[in-house]
Structures are given as structure tokens and as C-alpha cells.
Amino acid sequence: MELVCPAGSLPALKKAVDNGADAVYFGFRDSTNARQFAGLNFNDQRAAEGIEYAHRHGVRVFCAINTYPQPQGWQQWTAAVDRAAALGVDAIILADMGLLEYAANRHSDIPRHLSVQGSATSYEALQFYKDNFDIRRAVLPRVLSLDQVRGVAKHSPVELEVFAFGSLCIMAEGRCYLSSYLTDESPNSKGACSPAKAVRWEETADGALESRLNGVLIDRYSRGEAAGYPTLCKGRFEVEGDVYHAIEEPVSLNTLDLLPELKALGISAVKIEGRQRSPAYIADVARTWRQALDRVDCSSGFSVDPAWQSTLSGLSEGGLTTLGAYHRKWK
């Protein structure tokens, strides 16, 4: 299984390469990718440097152009595909059907990967993308249980990549409009969920800390309570008189325990989420997963090293991890 790591910056890319990634993925510095953050991502020159560095170390580079262009932005998105091709990336990660067709027609020699934003949760959906755009690989949304992944993998016409570690998105990706409902930006339209521009932190008279998104109270932390970024689905809200994490707790996905099963299913690659993370974070996560993948590949049997789990827990939201939807009971 291939280890695919995020590269939000050139230093992060180098850390991923140095610490055992088989492939890295990056986006351009605009809303053509689903991790648009101020100060992150690549212009063409930095991308060229990163690709040169990765290739010199035998690591492949994927370019994510996985948001949905509207007519007013169409040329910007097709230009991004052309730029990725000119840079010599090893694959382009796409979600939009129009853009997939553009890439298949103009740059047929560059493999196309279906982004998680393409919302393909069944082998029939994968067949649609295979038949129409000849995709080589697809990233599965984080909504399937392990049994369901097994069902998809058994009949999949393409390579599969699954999320292994990082932020847990609990909605079917590519079809979540919660962020644009509260703000005017969503992953699909602007490559942003709960965008930083809409975030406000306020301290109340009694010392509590409030996080707001476009004015909406997402969470309130009593004095001394650990506070997290106000991703809107991870806030505490009131439902029929109960105040709780009505949608999801702030935890991270961690599938270390599932590695042997994922390998047995024929999964081609595991993906680490987090282009918004620091180079030091990327280094720690990549190193840990490299060790785990190497151990899963040797025949002597796999067991999770407690040190790996403790490293990964330390890097997780709220220090907590979950198997998420892979574990049926989570649902």
C-alpha cells in the first residue's frame, strides 16, 4: 500500500518526502483546490521545486484540482489543469465531471484520480467515472464502514485510496453545503469549510471563550477548557433541550488498527489528510505511518506499536481519535 501525504507548502512537502511518503499531493494557491488557506499551497515556481525534489527521491506528486468550477471561473480551472500538466505531475486529482472530461481530452497521458470530493461511494459510481473519464484511481469518502469498503473494493474497476489519518469529515464529501449555508464559502465552491475569514473568538465577562462563524455561536468554552477551531459540524448545539455535539465531536480519524484489513482488501493507497498542518506535524505523521506500512508489508504479522498510537493521538484534535465510519457502531 502506498502512503500518500499532504503538502501544503514546500517545507511540508520535503518533510513528507524525507519521512517516507510514496506520493505527496498539493494544490495551487487559489480556490481550485479543496484546502484554500491563506499562506498555504503552491505557485508554479514552488511547485516545480517541490516536484523536482520529490522526483529526485523517487516520490510521486499528485496535484489536487478538486473544487467545482462555475461558468465565471471555468478558464481558471482549466488553466490549473494545464499548469499541472506542464509541471509534470504524476496524476491530477479531480472531482468535477466537466473538468475530468477536459483533462481526459487534453492531457490523456496524465493519470486522473477521482477526488474524495467526487462523492463516489459505490462500484457503480466508480464505473461511471471509469467509463466516462477513464480514471485510474478513486479516493473513497469517509462515510463507508469497513464492510462497505470491502463491497466496493471487490467490484471496483479502479485503484482505491482511503483516508487513514487526519480530520474526520463525517458528511459525504462533495455534497456538503453546511459551510456555505452559514458563510458564503463551501468546499465545493471555494475550497474552504468554515473559512477562517468568518471566524471570531470572543471572551465573555465571566471568562468563557466563544467561537463564532459568521456571527453564529459554534461553541462556548468555560475557563480552562480546551478550545478547538470552530468547524461548524463540531460545535455544541441545542437539540430538544439537550446541549451536546449534535453532529460530531472534535476528534481525528485514525485507522492504524485497520491496516492489515485494508491491505487484504487490495486497497492501493492510504491517504493522510492535512495540507493545512505544519511541516513538523507532517514529518511525525509520515514517519509513523511509514513504520506501520513497512511492518504490515513484512510477513511476520502486524501489531500496532503503542508508540505510534501515542504519537498520533498527540497530533489529533482534542487528543482523541476514532475509527469513524469504518467502525459500524460509530454510525
Partner 1 sequence: MMKLSLGPILWFWSKQTVFDFYGNAADWPVDTIYLGEAVCSRRRELKPDDWFSLARDLSACGKDVVLSTQTLIESEADLRRLRRICDQHEFMVEANDQSALQVAIRNEIPFVTGPSMNVYNVATLKVLAKQGLKGWNLPVELGRETLEQLIRGLNEEGLDLPAEVFGWGFLPLAWSSRCFTARHYNLPKDNCEFRCLQHPDGMEVRSRESQELFRLNGISTLSGSRYDLMREMPDMERMGVSTVRLSPEHQGMDDVVDRFDQVRRGEIPATDPLHLVEAPPCNGYWYGEPGMALVQS
Under the binding rule (CB under 8 A), the answer on residue 34 touching partner 1 is no
Which of 82, 248, 257, 261 forms a contact with partner 1 (CB under 8 A)? 248
Under the binding rule (CB under 8 A), the answer on residue 291 touching partner 1 is no
Q: Which of 196, 163, 176, 200 is nearest to 324 (CA)?
A: 163
Which of 16, 80, 110, 120 forms a contact with partner 1 (CB under 8 A)? 120
C-alpha atoms less than 13 angstroms from C-alpha of 203 in its C-beta half-sphere: 6
The footprint of partner 1 on residues 311-330 (CB under 8 A) is 325, 328-330
Q: Which residues, in sequence order, are bridge partners of residue 217?
A: 212
Coil, strand, or helix at residue 114?
strand
Q: Which residues, in sequence order, are bridge partners of residue 4?
A: 23, 271
Stretch that binds partner 1, among 50-58, 80-88, 178-186, 261-269 (CB under 8 A): 178-186
Residue with Cβ nearer partner 1 (248 or 261): 248
Under the binding rule (CB under 8 A), the answer on residue 176 touching partner 1 is yes
How does DSSP assign 185-250, residue by residue? --HHHHS-SS-GGGEEEEE-TTS-EEEEETTEEEEEE-TT-------GGGS-EEETTEEE-SS--S
Query: What is the Cα–Cα distance from 79 to 63, expressed in whole angstroms?
Result: 13
Query: What is the Cα–Cα distance from 287 to 315, expressed in whole angstroms?
Result: 13
Each residue 77-116 as x (binds partner 1 by CB under 8 A) or -, in order, gives ------------------xxxxx-xx--------------
Residue with Cβ nearer partner 1 (8 or 174): 174
Each residue 45-84 as x (binds partner 1 by CB under 8 A) or -, in order, gives -----------------------xxxxx-x----------
End-to-end CA distance of the chain: 27
Under the binding rule (CB under 8 A), the answer on residue 131 touching partner 1 is yes
Q: Position 194: which residue type?
A: S
Residue with Cβ nearer partner 1 (45 or 105): 105
Each residue 257-286 as x (binds partner 1 by CB under 8 A) or -, in order, gives ------------------------------
Under the binding rule (CB under 8 A), the answer on residue 189 touching partner 1 is yes
Dihedral Cα 271, 277, 279, 284, nearest 10 deg:
-60
Number of residues that bind partner 1 (CB under 8 A): 68
Residue with Cβ nearer partner 1 (20 or 174): 174
Query: What is the Cα–Cα distance from 165 to 223, expressed in whole angstroms?
Result: 30
Query: What is the Cα–Cα distance from 127 to 122, expressed in whole angstroms?
Result: 9
Binding residues, as ranges, are 169, 176, 193, 233
Using CA atoms, how far residue 170 sits from 7, 10, 174, 232, 300, in Å, is 23, 29, 12, 12, 35
Q: How far is the CB of 278 from partner 1 (least distance, A)?
A: 29
Q: How far is the CB of 91 from partner 1 (least distance, A)?
A: 20
What one-character DSSP code corresponds to residue 154?
H
The contact set with partner 1 (CB under 8 A) reads 68-72, 74, 95-99, 101-102, 118-122, 124-125, 127-129, 131-132, 143-145, 148, 151, 170-172, 174-178, 180-184, 186, 188-189, 214, 216-218, 220, 233, 235-240, 242-243, 246-248, 325, 328-331
